[in-house]
Amino acid sequence: MILKNTLVTRNSFNNFILPFYNPPSFIPIKGKGSRIWDQQGKEYVDFSGGIAVTSLGHCHPLLNKVLNYQSKKIWHTSNIFTNEPALRLAKKLVLSSFASHVFFANSGAEANEAAFKLARYYATKKYDVKKNNIISFYNSFHGRTLFTVSVGGQSKYSDFFGPKPLGIQHAEFNKIETVKNIINKNTCAIVLELIQGEGGIIPASKSFVRELRCLCNKYNALLIFDEVQTGIGRTGKLFAYEHYGIEPDILTIAKSLGSGFPISAMLTTSKIQSVITPGIHGTTYGGNPLACAIAEATINIINTKNILSGVKQKLKRILFELNIINKRFKLFTEIRGMGLLIGIVLESKFVKKIHDILHFSFLEGVIFLTAGKNVIRMAPSLIISESDIVEGMNRFYRALKKF
Ligand SMILES: *Cc1c(COP(=O)(O)O)cnc(C)c1O
């Protein structure tokens, strides 16, 4: 084998990898469906889904087949050419959404960066150079490039990196008055997550989204939905905006789109497409054949009645188990979210111990995420089996007992 199978441990992380993260001591080396195994062969039920990415579980056999097939045809050509998987994937996204055109990139941040640049470019070309203000929301998360992290509403992520891009204003999520107070003719876009993900699994209310749509129409501003976390089946519909009955002008998706193979997309309408000419934006890897083939297969599998309606069933089962847990431990005050993007809002006495709860869960063999300071987040595979749900929840019960 060309890979050397020398043993590496968690210590290597401290020695060789920049500590932007602080991973737990175990190292996953294998995944199948909703289960993960570490170096010691210990097995875990995975409710993290790679942060809402592995919506078809780990190593789905059909995706492995597609990956293998495409890897023998062609991996990468750059965007000086187009390619068959990208063309098929774009057509599929257009046919199943509000959009008429698609741009492919490699991460959520890049799709949002493209969306924000496009909103400004469109307003500048069509109206006025001064029309460049973007309104976003406190507590929101849009990625880690300097532009996207500045548009994001958590200054702890954007402070200390020097001057921030100008022309960004923040309003209060679900409080339309705070938007009305700052929107004006120089607003080029309003951007929001329909469910604030990293911020704590907080859904936007229907009336809020409807009023944002009206404000955007009134002020000739574009409405941008960041569906990086909610898109591609996570909420039980292909896109979360379908629950709201409101269409954006620009939509971004990433996480679930590639099942773990990096790919993202920005979708928009022909009205906006009309200002675009070759060269004003670009990417080397975006829309490469390997990523697009996997994304196409991912959508083919997820965008079926069976899987989308299954989301509701699985949520029901998880809620049933969580309520049993809550009877015993008085763990949470509320469950928030939509479909299989689930936020467990902790009772105040548990908030400071959230990382201990996760740690005890790891020890018992079940994996969760956090969101915000006081929420345990679950974003499991959309096809997690009932027995995996029950086993994972039993382990969670035992973890809480020991904790
Ligand atoms: C994860 C996430 C991003 C950033 O995606 P990356 O692939 O990490 O760049 C942006 N927006 C939302 C809503 C996200 O959840």
Strands (E), 68-192: 101-105, 133-137, 168-171, 187-192
pLDDT digits (tens, 9 = 90+) for 149-203: 999 999 999 999 999 999 999 999 999 999 999 999 999 999 999 999 999 999 9
Could you read off the pLDDT of 210-245 as tens digits, one per residue? Answer: 999 999 999 999 999 999 999 999 999 999 999 999
pLDDT at 2: 84
- Compute CA 80 distance to the chain's CA centroid, rounded to the nearest angstrom: 29
Closest ligand 1 atom number to CA of residue 252: 11
**pLDDT given for residue 3 in this prediction:** 85
Task: Compute, in angstroms, the gap from residue 18 CA to the centroid of ligand 1.
Answer: 20
Pairing type for strands 187-192 and 133-137 reads parallel
> Parallel, antiparallel, or unpaired: how do β-strands 375-378 and 369-371 relate?
antiparallel
Q: Is the CB of 298 within 6 Å of ligand 1?
A: no
Q: Using the mean position of ligand 1's atoms as its centre, give its distance from the Cα of residue 17 in Å.
A: 22
Calculate what percentage of the chain has a pLDDT beyond 90: 98
State the average pLDDT over residues 362-375: 98
Q: Is the CB of 113 under 6 A from ligand 1?
A: no
> Is any atom of ligand 1 closer than 6 Å to the C-beta of 227?
no
pLDDT tens-digit profile of 301-327?
A: 999 999 999 999 999 999 999 999 999
Ligand 1: which atom is nearest the Cα of residue 111?
Answer: 9
pLDDT at residue number 7: 87
How is the beta sheet containing 366-367 ordered, strand by strand? Answer: 28-32, 35-38, 43-46, 366-367
The closest-lying atom of ligand 1 relative to the alpha carbon of residue 107 is: 7
Query: Ligand 1 centroid to 19 CA: how many Å?
Result: 20
In angstroms, the Cα distances linking 192 to 9, 179, 184, 368, 401 are 40, 12, 18, 25, 38
Does the Cβ of 109 fall within 6 Å of ligand 1?
A: yes
Whether the pLDDT of residue 1 is over 80: the answer is no
> In this structure, which residue's CA is closest to atom 15 in ligand 1?
229
Q: Is 143 touching ligand 1 by the criterion CB < 6 Å?
A: yes
Give 109 Cα–ligand 1 centroid separation in angstroms.
6
Verify whether ligand 1 is closer than 6 Å to residue 262 (CB atom): no
In the chain, the domains with their CATH numbers are 10-60+305-402 (3.90.1150.10), 73-302 (3.40.640.10)
Phi, psi angles (nearest 5°) of residue 226:
-90, 100
Give yes or no for residue 341 CB within 6 A of ligand 1.
no
Closest atom of ligand 1 to CA, residue 255: 7
Our answer on whether the CB atom of 229 is closer than 6 Å to any ligand 1 atom is yes
Q: Mean pLDDT across the stretch 283-310?
A: 98
Average pLDDT, the chain: 97
User: Which ligand 1 atom is the nearest neighbour of the CA of 148?
Assistant: 10
Reference 238, options 305, 335, 316, 317; nearest CA is: 305
Q: pLDDT tens across 370-401, in order?
A: 999 999 999 999 999 999 999 999 999 999 99
Any ligand 1 atom below 6 A from CB of 197: yes
Mean pLDDT of 276-304: 98
- Taking only the tens place, the pLDDT of each residue in 40-69 is 999 999 999 999 999 999 999 999 999 999
Cβ burial, residue 210 (10 Å; 0-12/13-18/19+): middle
Listed in sequence order, the residues at least 6 apart from 207 whose beta carbon sits closer than 8 Å to its beta carbon are: 176
